[in-house]
Amino acid sequence: MIYFDHNATSPMLPLARQAWLEATERYLGNPSSPHRLGGRGEAALTAAREQLARYLGCEPGDVVWTSGATESANTVLQHYARRRGPRREVWVSAIEHPAVLAPLGRYFPRAHRLMPVTRAGVVDLDWLHDHLRRARPRLIGLMAANNETGVIQPWAVVRALAREHGVPFFCDATQWVGRLPASGLGECDWVGGSAHKFGGPRGVGFLKCPADTRLEALLVGGPQEEGRRAGTENVPGIVAMMAALERRETALASPDEPGTPGSTPVGLRLAWRERFEEELRQRLPGTVILGAGPTRLWNTVSACLPAADCRQRWVVKLDKLGFAVSTGSACASGREAPSQVVAAMGYAATEASRVLRFSSGWETTPEEWKALLAALARVYREFGVAPSRR
């Protein structure tokens, strides 16, 4: 199977699996236990915390281990819901992942706003400037890169703007970390991420918190993580996550792709993706790439296909040909609810129903992109549908 669904989850890197296996044997004690075996686990957590803090650019004490980005986002929103203080609104972009939107609805049902996005899928900075002149929200949230379109958001600009207005800023960096350098993210007050998007195991992630904040823990029942997240830490998962992130950060820091002097690892992959998009538009005339203009992650293509057939049938046919692709966010896949992201960008429901997402990984080859293109052209021919006028 050729895998083009890395934004849903990325296969675990062999070196991360190895690190996990070794850690299960080496760190067999509970890191909270007073004996030497416990201390060894605690030392591994400290080393991992220091390493992540170095990548993010923050203090090790700001890092809290979680089960992933969903828990991280829930923690942030419930923290502001429980904290005393004026009940001001929370503003997040309209294209946030359900991991952010659902807790927002739960904790701030009548006290939130969704910041609009442009047709290109970028948060509308004019809207934000304008609204900040008139009101001060309790928290602003903006993802670093969108999971459906890959469109990179101006999170550093919004972080600076939020700071200028004395508003805390939360960045869901789940699709960014491991694909682009993490440095600078640590300057956001809150940052969430998940290991399985960059080759680490599932069910482990992190939350970077502001140094001076007493976090209202989401999970209580133990003193772990300085009382910020109860429950025995997943030491092997954390060690494996950091092994995967180290591999990704090393690739991101290297000037040349091994064996391809003159091309950065990201530049090379971006070129493969761009060639795919160009040829897709030629072979399936009428194809529209969502967010084509702005900067996007090097791995993501969100394409509104011309054939007016149900996108689930595309997925099934491609699956039979040996390709795993997606209809959008993992949560939205498998059911035909229109994507909130595509709708927020101003596309009609009929257009949204024709959107497929192809998301590659670090290990995806140009040959695999070419094979995907050939498979798409074949399915298109099989459908025998004239380009849609809808």
Residues in the chain: 390
- Our finding on whether 143 is near ligand PLP (CB under 6 A) is yes
CA nearest 198: which of 41, 65, 68, 53? Answer: 68
Complex with ligand PLP: residue 196 or 273, whichever CB lies closer: 196
Closest approach, Cβ 370 to ligand PLP, in A, equals: 27
Unique residue bearing structure tokens 């199977």: 1
Q: How far apart are CA 300 and CA 149, in angstroms?
A: 6
- Whether 8 and 199 have beta carbons less than 8 Å apart is answered as no
Number of residues that bind ligand PLP (CB under 6 A): 14
Complex with ligand PLP: residue 23 or 143, whichever CB lies closer: 143
- Residues 53-92 contacting ligand PLP, CB under 6 A: 68-70
Complex with ligand PLP: residue 175 or 299, whichever CB lies closer: 175
Closest approach, Cβ 37 to ligand PLP, in A, equals: 29
Helix axes 125-134, 155-164, angle to 10 degrees: 10
Closest approach, Cβ 73 to ligand PLP, in A, equals: 6
Closest approach, Cβ 330 to ligand PLP, in A, equals: 5
Q: How far apart are CA 101 and CA 94, in angstroms?
A: 8
- Which amino acid is residue 10, in one-letter code? S
Closest approach, Cβ 71 to ligand PLP, in A, equals: 7
- Residues 193-222 contacting ligand PLP, CB under 6 A: 194, 196
Q: Which residues contact 227 (CB under 8 A, 6 or more apart)?
A: 215, 217
- Our finding on whether 147 is near ligand PLP (CB under 6 A) is yes
- Our finding on whether 326 is near ligand PLP (CB under 6 A) is no
Helix/strand/coil percentages in the chain, nearest 5: 45, 15, 45
Complex with ligand PLP: residue 297 or 373, whichever CB lies closer: 297
Complex with ligand PLP: residue 75 or 329, whichever CB lies closer: 329
Half-sphere exposure of 98 (CA within 13 A, CB side): 8
Unique residue bearing structure tokens 């090097």: 298
Question: Catalytic pick from 58, 171, 310, 331?
Answer: 331
- Whether 284 and 305 have beta carbons less than 8 Å apart is answered as yes
Active-site residue 209, yes or no?
Answer: no
Closest approach, Cβ 175 to ligand PLP, in A, equals: 5
- Whether 27 and 40 have beta carbons less than 8 Å apart is answered as yes
- Residues 332-361 contacting ligand PLP, CB under 6 A: none
Half-sphere exposure of 261 (CA within 13 A, CB side): 0
Complex with ligand PLP: residue 97 or 228, whichever CB lies closer: 97
Complex with ligand PLP: residue 244 or 373, whichever CB lies closer: 244
- Our finding on whether 233 is near ligand PLP (CB under 6 A) is no
Q: How far apart are CA 7 and CA 331, in angstroms?
A: 11
- Which amino acid is residue 156, in one-letter code? A
- Our finding on whether 99 is near ligand PLP (CB under 6 A) is yes
Q: Which residues contact 333 (CB under 8 A, 6 or more apart)?
A: 8, 315, 326, 327
- Our finding on whether 291 is near ligand PLP (CB under 6 A) is no
b/e map of 357-368 (b: 16 or more CB within 10 Å)?
Answer: bbbbbbebeeeb
- Our finding on whether 315 is near ligand PLP (CB under 6 A) is no
- Residues 157-196 contacting ligand PLP, CB under 6 A: 172, 174-175, 194, 196
Which pair of structure tokens corresponds to residue 84? Answer: 């005393």
Closest approach, Cβ 379 to ligand PLP, in A, equals: 25
Residues labelled catalytic: 331
User: Where along the sequence are the contacts to ligand PLP (CB under 6 A)?
Assistant: 68-70, 97, 99, 143, 147, 172, 174-175, 194, 196, 329-330
